[in-house]
Amino acid sequence: MIKVSLHGAEFFALHGFYPEEQLLGNKFILDIDVEFHTGADLTGDHIADTVNYEQLYIIAAEEMRHTRKLLEAVAQSIADRIRVDHPYVDRIKVELKKLNPPLPGRVAYSSVTVTNDK
């Protein structure tokens, strides 16, 4: 089993349930883990034999541009796109953190995690 991860990817986006959140925006941190089996000889040193984390970032960046009310919807859309582009992946885990969510007290972040198993 191979695990490829992208952790701490930072985005500014307009996700949020309240209209003010969709107007003002917020900072988000994204973590993605994908696990898969490969029959390839990884000593061959070919990027085609693995999941390119640059592609994971591009998928995430494209999906983060689509404003949604729920973080769950954003995380699911990222997982769904990864599944379409990499159908051989056994497990996809997407964690999306919203920094300083608009709550009455100090909260570092809120988060959702979507796990997609084959």
Per-residue pLDDT of the chain (118 residues; tens, 9 = 90+): 999 999 999 999 999 998 998 999 999 999 999 999 888 777 778 888 789 999 999 999 999 999 999 999 999 999 999 999 999 999 999 999 999 998 999 999 999 999 999 8
Per-residue pLDDT, 39: 80
Q: Which amino acid is at 59?
A: I
Q: What is the DSSP annotation of 50-75?
A: S--HHHHHHHHHHHHTS--S-HHHHH
Per-residue pLDDT, 38: 84
What is the C-alpha to C-alpha distance for residues 52 and 4, in angstroms, rounded to an integer?
A: 8
pTM exceeds 0.95 for this model: no
What is the C-alpha to C-alpha distance for residues 21 and 15, in angstroms, rounded to an integer?
A: 7
Domains and CATH numbers, the chain: 2-117 (3.30.1130.10)
Per-residue pLDDT, 107: 96
